[in-house]
Structure 1
C-alpha cells in the first residue's frame, strides 16, 4: 500500500524490514509528538512544511499505520499513531473520567471539547473507527441527533 511512501528497496529482505520498521516508528512518533494526523505526498517536497523536519526520505511504508483519506486517492494519508482500538480506549476513558457515561454527545463535542482533551482535533474518520470499536464491544452506541451523529457511552464494560 502507499506506493508514494514506500521505503527504498534494500537488497536484503531482513534489512528492508528493519528500515521500514524504523521509518514507520519515526514517522508515527513524530506525528504523535506534533499531533499531526495527515500526511500528503507533496509534504515531502514542500520546504518548511509541518513534515519538513522529519521527511528526509519521501518513501515510507506504513504497513497498517495509515490509510488514504479520503479513500480512492493516493495523495493524502491519515496516520494511525494510535490504532483505532487504542483511540477507542482513550475515548472511553475520557468519557468515563468526564462523567459522560450514559449521556449523548455529538461527534463535534468530542472533537472540539470546551476543555482540551486527548481527543481534541482528532479527525472524524479516526473517531468513527474508535466509536465502531466501542460499539462492537457494547461500550457505546451511535445515536442520530438533530445536527448529525452522536454517541452514547455505556457504563459497565470499562475493562474491555
Structure 2
C-alpha cells in the first residue's frame, strides 16, 4: 500500500474497541470510528470494506494494545454510516461487505463531469474501463474508482442529462457519452 496512515490517539484507547452501552458515549464512539474509517479509506484510496476479513487488519486490530473490534460492533458502525450516507451495504453480502463513500457518488459525478468539460472530452465516448483505469485518467482522483461507485456516479450524470450510457459486452466495455455542459 501507500505510506502509513496516522491513526488518531483514540485508536490506542482500549475501551474504544468495545461497543459502549451509554447512548451518548456510544454515539460519540460510532462517530469517531466513522471518521477514522473514512479517513483511512481516503488515504489508501479504498472503496470496499469486507468486514470479516478486515477485522484482522491494522484498522480494526490494534496489536499494540491487543484490542480488536468485534464483527457485531463493526456492523453497528457501518449501519450508522449507512444512515449518514457515507456507506452502503452490498445487499448480497448479508452485512459483510460495504461500500465506503469517502466521497459520495454525487461528488464523484461532479468531479468526473468537471474533468470531461475541462479536458475537452465533451461529446466523446469513453468506456467505463478507460474512465476508471485508462492512461487518460492516471493521477486523477477517480482513477481506480470502484466500478459500482463509478456506475452510480455515471447514472447520476445520466439523470442530470450530462451523459448517456451504451451497453457493451461487459460492464467495463460500456460506453459513456458526455455532453458539452459544465454542471
Bin for the TM-score computed over the shorter chain: 0.7 to 0.9
- Give me the whole-angstrom Cα distance separating, in 2, the residues matched to 1:18 and 1:35: 25
**Structure 2, unaligned runs of 5 or more:** 1-17, 62-68
- Give me the whole-angstrom Cα distance separating, in 2, the residues matched to 1:149 and 1:112: 14
Residue 37 of structure 1 corresponds to which residue in structure 2? 47
What is the CA distance between 1:16 and its match in structure 2? Answer: 2.5
What is the CA distance between 1:17 and its match in structure 2? Answer: 2.2
Residue 36 of structure 2 corresponds to which residue in structure 1? 26
Structure showing greater radius of gyration is: 2
CA contact (8 A) 2:88 2:100 kept: yes
CA contact (8 A) 1:104 1:143 kept: no
Residue 99 of structure 2 corresponds to which residue in structure 1? 78
Residue 119 of structure 2 corresponds to which residue in structure 1? 98
What is the CA distance between 1:110 and its match in structure 2? Answer: 0.5
CA RMSD of aligned residues (A): 2.0
* 1:1-160 alignment runs, 5 A limit: 8-12=19-23, 14-46=24-56, 49=57, 52=58, 54-56=59-61, 57-58=69-70, 59=74, 60-61=77-78, 62-63=81-82, 64-69=85-90, 71-73=91-93, 74-115=95-136, 116=138, 117-145=140-168, 148-156=173-181, 158-159=182-183
CA contact (8 A) 1:39 1:76 kept: yes
- Give me the whole-angstrom Cα distance separating, in 1, the residues matched to 2:175 and 2:21: 47
* Richer in helix (by share): 2
- Give me the whole-angstrom Cα distance separating, in 2, the residues matched to 1:77 and 1:111: 20
Number of matched residues?
145
